[in-house]
Chain A
């Protein structure tokens, strides 16, 4: 397809996904430009995670397509898929560090296993990435289970940026952290994305975090994107649903199905 403008880094077209009888994504259309940082906001259980997993390739959509750099990657498998994944770096909600490996090997994982770098060089580069996210080099030999939640997030971030990805994904980056640590992680995210010149896609329900890390915000509701615009326009979105969400009101068009 030549119709895709070259500056669209990530694009989803009419993405649909159901689980059993539950229609989670009902046709998501989203475009993220090269160098843009987009945050997808939405209530819990509205399909944010499903959306990001479909884009990364951890799940496959029932219909619709995902384009990375203008290339349709929806049906790719095996080594073709791995070629695309090499452009990605992801910070998981629970950091998802490999608990059988020490911190530095976690950070160096992509360098050793994928880029086939010698272990000594990979270690040096891993320590550099650790310093970049404010970690002391002397925790390199420790295991993830010995670290606090905030430190684990930093290690996860260091692992995501170590391979210098073109596209960064952040899954609820501040969930489970205190507000100060959340802000620290947000700032690290902003800085690393800027230093890499990467395109970023975050999903979050933390509005403060979304306002900090994103250039543009998209709100997902009932399986579709109901609003998409620059971060400073969100207070005047003209949408009751968006207003209810960003102000955290319990009454409004979003029905959280709380008993009585």
Chain B
């Protein structure tokens, strides 16, 4: 009886949370498209998400590209430039670029959003917005959603380029490959659908990261401990959803 009851309670909780996220998402998206807009805030968020994430995304990408080249060289032996260039460009554009950039940004931006909005919640700043006739969804949620969806594809584009460059550096300086041949193989193996799937993933990941960051911040409660909890939840849930949607989008694009 006790087991059944607690099972039922967690199931009801699950439905309640799912419903709340659903309503939050609907509100957030609606306010992205209904005036008034806050272009200044969107711009600030774009700089915060896009520009200031560049170092972290760039470093992740270059080491990933380098390690891909090393691993495929040791795995395939002297299979030649073509194979290694292929593995690097294929792996980076399809999977590792978007997923690793997404996870890094989830840690950086998702946490920052949850902490900032969570603090605003517990210090009544969100209530203050309402009493100043400003909708918190429009002022806080919509600019972050817009900026993240716009900037993640750009970050992933940068990650793709730097990642491929990482593989190039290792191949040229470590394995002594011919740079021109390597670049030509890279170009030949770069496929449009793979690249586009990565960019689509990036936009979806951006949405997930901003949604989880703002959602957990918005509903945080109970002072500094609650804000800490919200930050953790934002990063964990964004990372898991990101990997889940990575699988779904890959299946949509490539499962035939």
Which residues of the other chain, B, contact A56 by a CB distance below 8 angstroms? 130-131
Size of interface on A: residues with Cβ below 8 Å to B = 25
Interface residues in A225-259 (C-beta closer than 8 Å to B): none
Asked if A96 and B133 make an inter-chain contact with CB atoms under 8 angstroms apart, the answer reads: no
Is residue A98 contacting chain B, with contact meaning CB distance below 8 A?
yes
Closest Cβ–Cβ distance, residue A119 to chain B (whole Å): 10
Asked if A110 and B127 make an inter-chain contact with CB atoms under 8 angstroms apart, the answer reads: no
Which residues of the other chain, B, contact A159 by a CB distance below 8 angstroms? 132
With both beta carbons as reference points, the residue of chain B lying nearest to A162 in the complex is identified as: B132
Which residues of the other chain, B, contact A211 by a CB distance below 8 angstroms? none
Give A199 to B139 CA distance when docked, in angstroms. 28
Is residue A82 contacting chain B, with contact meaning CB distance below 8 A?
yes
Asked if A99 and B125 make an inter-chain contact with CB atoms under 8 angstroms apart, the answer reads: yes
Is residue B128 contacting chain A, with contact meaning CB distance below 8 A?
yes
Asked if B125 and A113 make an inter-chain contact with CB atoms under 8 angstroms apart, the answer reads: no
Known contacts A94-B123, A96-B123; A85 and B128 CB within 8 A of each other: no
Which residues of the other chain, A, contact B131 by a CB distance below 8 angstroms? 56, 58, 85, 88-90, 169
Known contacts A92-B124, A96-B124; A86 and B133 CB within 8 A of each other: yes
Is residue A97 contacting chain B, with contact meaning CB distance below 8 A?
yes
Which residues of the other chain, B, contact A88 by a CB distance below 8 angstroms? 131
Which residues of the other chain, B, contact A110 by a CB distance below 8 angstroms? 132-133
Is residue A57 contacting chain B, with contact meaning CB distance below 8 A?
yes
With both beta carbons as reference points, the residue of chain A lying nearest to B128 in the complex is identified as: A96
**Beta-carbon contacts of B101-125 to A below 8 Å, as 1s and 0s?**
0000000000000001001100111
The contact size tier of chain B is 10 to 19
Asked if A82 and B133 make an inter-chain contact with CB atoms under 8 angstroms apart, the answer reads: yes
Closest Cβ–Cβ distance, residue A116 to chain B (whole Å): 8
Is residue A93 contacting chain B, with contact meaning CB distance below 8 A?
yes
Is residue A75 contacting chain B, with contact meaning CB distance below 8 A?
no
Which residues of the other chain, B, contact A90 by a CB distance below 8 angstroms? 128, 131
**Beta-carbon contacts of B27-62 to A below 8 Å, as 1s and 0s?**
000000000100000000000000000000000000
Is residue B72 contacting chain A, with contact meaning CB distance below 8 A?
no
With both beta carbons as reference points, the residue of chain A lying nearest to B127 in the complex is identified as: A58
Give A169 to B130 CA distance when docked, in angstroms. 13
Which residues of the other chain, B, contact A58 by a CB distance below 8 angstroms? 127, 130-131
Interface residues in A93-131 (C-beta closer than 8 Å to B): 93-94, 96-100, 109-110, 113-114
Give A163 to B125 CA distance when docked, in angstroms. 18
Closest Cβ–Cβ distance, residue B62 to chain A (whole Å): 33
Is residue B135 contacting chain A, with contact meaning CB distance below 8 A?
yes
Asked if B130 and A92 make an inter-chain contact with CB atoms under 8 angstroms apart, the answer reads: no
Give A114 to B135 CA distance when docked, in angstroms. 10
**Beta-carbon contacts of B130-142 to A below 8 Å, as 1s and 0s?**
1111110001000
A interface vs B, CB < 8 Å? 53, 56-58, 82, 85-86, 88-90, 92-94, 96-100, 109-110, 113-114, 159, 163, 169
B interface vs A, CB < 8 Å? 36, 116, 119-120, 123-125, 127-128, 130-135, 139
Q: A98-B128, A110-B132 are in contact. List 19 more A-B contacts (CB 8 A).
A: A56-B131, A57-B130, A58-B127, A58-B130, A85-B130, A86-B133, A88-B131, A89-B131, A90-B128, A92-B127, A96-B123, A97-B125, A98-B125, A99-B123, A99-B125, A109-B134, A113-B36, A113-B132, A113-B134
A-B contact pairs, 12 of them (CB 8 A): A53-B127, A56-B131, A58-B131, A85-B131, A90-B131, A92-B128, A98-B120, A110-B133, A113-B134, A114-B133, A114-B134, A169-B131
